[in-house]
Amino acid sequence: MAEAMTTGRVRVVAKVVIGLALVIGAAQLTGIPSRLSAADSEAPAPSPAQVSAKPTVTASATVSAAEIPAPELMPAPAPIEDGLFVKRVLKIAEPFEHGDYVWDDAGVPAGPLVITVDLAAQTMSVFRNGYEIGAAVIVYGADEKPTPLGTFPIMQKDRHHVSNLYGAPMPYMLRLTGDGVAIHASDVAYDAATHGCIGVPSKFAALLFAQAKLGDRVIITNGKMLDTGALPAAA
């Protein structure tokens, strides 16, 4: 499910949304800037998430202190969908165009690798130990061969893979499903699509291939919002 094919797909919403609401400690996170060019964006920025107030207990003057129940504590925010906590997003000065990517893992500690993909934004992000170390514009499955949504483990790695269905090269292949959907190097152009795979720029694919291990998770969504608020950006 590899080779790119021409399609007339209309440009999609170009917010960098990464497939799930993420949490830093007890902070509620809001707003991540667009990474695609303004020409690719047709939707207004989302409103910040609303944070519910911490419940309080008010004592009556006729009730003794011993009878006053302890305040109900707001539970700490739980990690959503697979427990990814974001500690940093990359600083990207210019809007993304098709074929663009950034990578910066300098000083980032070792830790679990999580890849998030949002089809609506045509964007992939790579997190190691909660730090975003890579981001790229992608191509994905055409309407008749859609890219599946969900969370997938990396099942296979093959540097020089060739599709057994289409005979097309799939360099730096990271297989996600038993029927051939994978992440791999591709020609990432505005009018390109795949047979269900996720195509990324070749240099980005090589960097990702070097980092990814079997079992690492890939979370694919279609327009769910990542709220990041005041997350620190890479210097």
Do 171 and 161 meet the contact criterion of CB atoms below 8 Å apart? Answer: yes
Do 220 and 24 meet the contact criterion of CB atoms below 8 Å apart? Answer: no
Give me the chain's average pLDDT, please. 72
State which amino acid sits at residue 176.
L
How confident is the model over 45-100, as pLDDT tens digits? 444 444 344 443 334 444 444 554 443 333 433 343 455 788 999 988 888 899 99
| Residue with the larger pLDDT of the pair 217 and 78 | 217
The least confident of 36-50, 51-65, 123-137, 168-182 is 51-65
In the predicted model, is pLDDT for residue 15 greater than 50? no
Do 123 and 41 meet the contact criterion of CB atoms below 8 Å apart? Answer: no
In the predicted model, is pLDDT for residue 230 greater than 70? no
Cα–Cα distance list, 187 to 7, 57, 84, 99, 130 (Å): 14, 59, 30, 8, 29
Which domains, from first to last, does the chain contain?
8-41+77-235 (2.40.440.10)
In the predicted model, is pLDDT for residue 192 greater than 80? yes
| Residue with the larger pLDDT of the pair 23 and 210 | 210
Position 216 scores a pLDDT of 97
Rounded to whole angstroms, the Cα distance separating 183 from 144 reads: 18
Do 186 and 4 meet the contact criterion of CB atoms below 8 Å apart? Answer: yes
E strands, the chain, in order: 5-6, 101-103, 113-118, 123-128, 131-137, 150-153, 156-162, 169-175, 182-185, 192-193, 198-200, 217-221
Confidence of residue 235 (pLDDT cuts 50, 70, 90): very low
Do 111 and 128 meet the contact criterion of CB atoms below 8 Å apart? Answer: yes
Rounded to whole angstroms, the Cα distance separating 167 from 169 reads: 7
Cα–Cα distance list, 221 to 32, 64, 87, 117 (Å): 16, 53, 21, 6
Would you mind telling me the total number of residues written for the chain in this entry?
A: 235
In the predicted model, is pLDDT for residue 231 greater than 90? no
Q: What is the pTM of this model?
A: 0.65
| Residue with the larger pLDDT of the pair 165 and 128 | 128
* Residue range 137-160: mean pLDDT, rounded: 93
